[in-house]
Amino acid sequence: MKFIFSFTIMLSSIIAYSQPKQIEENMMVDSIKRSFVTYVPFITNKEYKMPLIISLHGGFASPQGQFHLADFRPIADKDKFIVICPASKHIWHDGKNNKGIDDVKFIDQLITYAIENYNVDAERVYVTGISNGGFMTSRLACQLHKRIAAVAVVAASLDVNEGYDLESPMPVIYMHGTKDKIVSYNGGKMFGREIYSQKEIIQKWVKLDGCNPKPVITNLPDTVKDSTSVIKEEYTNPNNGLKVVGYTINNGGHTWPGGWQFMPQFIVGKTTRNLNACQVIWDFFKVYKLND
């Protein structure tokens, strides 16, 4: 009986060890409880330092919703990286008026937590986000560039007059639909703020990253005939390999390319099926390390 009991415990441990884990967690930041959901794939080598993708949801959304909308988990299972979807306090405070909620500090502490508790490779931390989470991603690229190796921004840009700006070269992706009814592809005024257009923010990064100003332009194949098309503009710094990549989704809306159509088209516009944003973003991220 003792042998059977011991074997049952050992078998249970093996089964638990051989499964990916999705964990709801919390931490305190400036005496405020902050929550996040961590996805850890199964790995056989516990000494392997895994990359980390921090994926930021849109305004008034949730980590669970972000996992549903931008599901990196199947890719994480295959290529062995951790995904963390943190929760905002209703919205990400990506501007000067943060109302006492320091989201930059939250993400900074979250990176430290992941490195200390999940054997994350500190040189391979990446951030992506959509909408309000995309604006927050742009801010983090400005203010946490010493901790983040690359970013990808979807359906968002950067504020023109928020008291912070691009500071350090970094590989970046910006994806935006031309029919985005919430965050205009063409920039301008938005909810009392002024934002850069897709073309303007791309050019700011091209200049900062020292890229060749002449891009390689690719019209991606229209494989699904869903009335959308995708144009890729890739700028490269030939000396260090830094890239700035813009994806223009013609007739695309305020959506995650290849993701869930989370609201009706008449509200947010169309989700293109001609681009799998999760796979494209990971393929872009994985070649970069912080101090290369």
d(C-alpha 172, C-alpha 226), whole Å: 27
Contacts of 78 (CB under 8 A, 6+ apart): none
Task: State residue 97's pLDDT score.
Answer: 67
Task: State residue 94's pLDDT score.
Answer: 87
Higher pLDDT, 172 or 163: 172
Could you read off the pLDDT of 18-72 as tens digits, one per residue?
589 999 999 999 999 999 999 999 998 888 999 999 999 999 999 999 999 999 9
Give 70-108 as a DSSP string: S--HHHHHHHT-EEEEE--BSB---SS--TT--HHHHHH
Where does the pLDDT of residue 7 fall: very low under 50, low under 70, confident under 90, or very high at 90 and above?
Answer: very low
Could you read off the pLDDT of 122-153 as tens digits, one per residue?
999 999 999 999 999 999 999 999 999 999 99
Task: State residue 4's pLDDT score.
Answer: 44
CB atoms within 10 A of CB 218: 12
For the entire predicted model, the pTM comes to: 0.93
Q: Which domains does the chain have, with CATH numbers?
A: 20-285 (3.40.50.1820)
The amino acid occupying position 62 is S
d(C-alpha 67, C-alpha 227), whole Å: 26
Give yes or no for residue 163 having a pLDDT over 90: no
155 half-sphere exposure, CB direction, 13 A CA radius: 30
Give yes or no for residue 13 having a pLDDT over 50: no
Q: Identify the residue whose tokens are 């303007």.
A: 200
Q: Which two tokens stand for residue 120?
A: 């994350």
Could you read off the pLDDT of 223-274 as tens digits, one per residue?
999 999 999 999 999 999 999 999 999 999 999 999 999 999 999 999 999 9
Could you read off the pLDDT of 70-124 as tens digits, one per residue?
999 999 999 999 999 999 999 999 877 678 899 999 999 999 999 999 999 999 9
